[in-house]
């Protein structure tokens, strides 16, 4: 796209230096090899932040560039580029998407009143920012409980977006109503279930949904298997907006990489928390048993705070 843009503006790139975050590809995917395009354009030098972990590339791109007489430099901006592409690296190396769990809560950690009322805890500025994070995701994930209780659309509306991300629903018993509003936006809907139900499956497929069965021994959706399947569907970043039960299950199984938290300057008291984390062995007995997080950023959005907190060590792969 950069080469085409330069040509459209009448600029020659012959003899120029190309700066890229990732090794130019050497295989045919959605487009032809970027290596071939750079060679044909007469680029003199390529400065790449990182080599590509994709086994289809993995150094072959650099080799082809050097064989064509192009100077190659690797490493400039490596840390920033890896962060920018962390979902891609997760999918290539761990074979699962990067999982980001989003929640909007009061300062005392409540996402809703005891009766489930949650609109609106945070401000319009926070909600708009949340839609921007939706827009960048490879897919959005929610649970059937949220679908049944709130009937959300879970689409991108508050910011401009070139496409609507696919929606993933965790629905063990296939209870998602075919009339749910989530089917309104034009996008793929993937429903992961545990118990086969031919009648419900047929009705959902008539609405365009794709139903997959991935059950664990407890008769629930095998969440780890679901993530592996989403990686095969080329989902790099998975954005989770679910209720406290599914949030708790994802955290308890160690499947969450980072939390995107919007905190409003309010105290609610009794209400629903961010995640339900029942401990079969009882409550924690030591503070060092708690889930350790690392703050990546804290930013004010209108009256609210946006906190990006990463599970300690999750990005070391």
Assess whether pLDDT exceeds 60 at residue 236. yes
Lowest mean pLDDT among 92-96, 206-210, 277-281: 277-281
Q: How far apart are CA 6 and CA 228, in angstroms?
A: 39
**Confidence at residue 279, expressed as pLDDT on a 0 to 100 scale:** 64
Residue 148 confidence (pLDDT): 96
- Read off the pLDDT of each residue in 225-235 and give the average, rounded to a whole number: 98
Residue 216, token pair as written in the block: 């664990």
Per-residue model confidence (pLDDT) at position 277 = 78
pLDDT of 2 strictly over 80: yes
Strands 110-113 and 271-273: antiparallel
What are the pLDDT digits (tens) for 59-114? 899 999 999 999 999 999 999 999 999 999 999 999 999 999 999 999 999 998 88
Tens digits of residue pLDDT in 3-25: 999 999 999 999 999 999 999 98
Q: Is the model more confident about 281 or about 171? A: 171
C-alpha torsion sign, points 282, 287, 288, 291:
positive
Q: How far apart are CA 255 and CA 223, in angstroms?
A: 8
Do the domains spanning 2-84 and 97-311 agree at the CATH topology level?
no
Could you tell me how far CA 144 lies from the centroid of its own chain?
Answer: 19
Distance CA 110, CA 113 (A): 7
Question: CA distances (Å), 69 to each of 37, 43, 180, in order?
Answer: 14, 10, 57
Domain 97-311 fold is Dihydrofolate Reductase, subunit A (3.40.430)
pLDDT of 27 > 80? The answer is no
Q: State pLDDT tens for residues 141-182.
A: 999 999 999 999 999 999 999 999 999 999 999 999 999 999
For the chain, give every domain's residue range: 2-84, 97-311
Task: Assign 278 a pLDDT band (cuts: 50, 70, 90).
Answer: low
In this model, does residue 190 exceed pLDDT 90? yes
Predicted confidence at residue 92, as pLDDT, reads 95
Q: What is the pLDDT of residue 254?
A: 94
The topology under which CATH files domain 2-84 is: Cytidine Deaminase; domain 2 (3.40.140)
Categorize the per-residue pLDDT at 280 as very low, low, confident or very high, splitting at 50, 70 and 90: low
The pLDDT value given to residue 117: 78
- The confidence band for 58, taking pLDDT boundaries of 50, 70 and 90, is confident
> Rounded to an integer, what distance in angstroms lies between the CA atom of residue 297 and that of residue 308?
5
The predicted structure's pLDDT at residue 276: 85
Instruction: Give the rounded percent of residues in the chain with a pLDDT score beyond 70.
Output: 97
Please provide the DSSP assignment of 125-167 as one string: HHHHHHHHHHHHSSEEEEEHHHHHHH-------SS--SSPPPE
- One-letter-per-residue 3-state SS of 47-75: EEEECCCCCCCCCHHHHHHHHCCCEEEEC
Which H or E run contains 45? strand 45-50
Tokens of 260: 């995107």
């Amino acid at each position: 796209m950069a080469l085409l843009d330069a040509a459209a503006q009448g600029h020659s790139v012959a003899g120029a230096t190309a700066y890229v975050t990732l090794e130019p590809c050497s295989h045919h995917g959605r487009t032809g090899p970027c290596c071939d395009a750079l060679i044909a354009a007469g680029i003199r030098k390529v400065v790449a932040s990182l080599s590509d972990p994709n086994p289809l590339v993995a150094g072959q791109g650099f080799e082809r560039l050097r064989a064509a007489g192009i100077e190659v430099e690797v490493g400039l901006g490596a840390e920033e580029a890896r962060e920018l592409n962390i979902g891609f690296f997760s999918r290539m190396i761990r074979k699962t998407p990067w999982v980001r769990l989003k929640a909007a809560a009061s300062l005392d950690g409540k996402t809703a009143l005891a009766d489930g009322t949650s609109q609106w805890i945070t401000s319009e500025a926070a909600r708009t920012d949340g839609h921007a994070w939706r827009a960048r995701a490879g897919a959005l994930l929610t649970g059937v409980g949220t679908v049944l209780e709130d009937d959300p659309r879970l689409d991108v509306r508050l910011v401009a977006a070139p496409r609507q991300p696919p929606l993933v629903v965790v629905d063990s018993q296939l209870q998602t109503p075919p009339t749910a509003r989530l089917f309104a936006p034009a996008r793929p809907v993937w429903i992961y279930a545990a118990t086969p139900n031919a009648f419900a499956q047929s009705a959902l497929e008539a609405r365009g949904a794709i139903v997959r069965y991935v059950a664990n021994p407890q008769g629930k959706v095998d969440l780890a298997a679901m993530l592996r399947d989403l990686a095969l569907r080329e989902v790099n970043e998975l954005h989770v907006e679910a209720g406290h039960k599914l949030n708790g299950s994802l955290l308890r199984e160690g499947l969450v990489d980072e939390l995107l938290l919007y905190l409003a300057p309010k105290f609610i008291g009794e209400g629903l928390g961010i995640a339900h984390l029942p401990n079969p062995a009882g409550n924690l007995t030591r503070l060092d048993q708690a889930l350790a997080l690392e703050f990546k950023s804290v930013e004010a959005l209108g009256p609210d705070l946006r906190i990006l907190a990463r599970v300690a060590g999750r990005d070391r792969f």
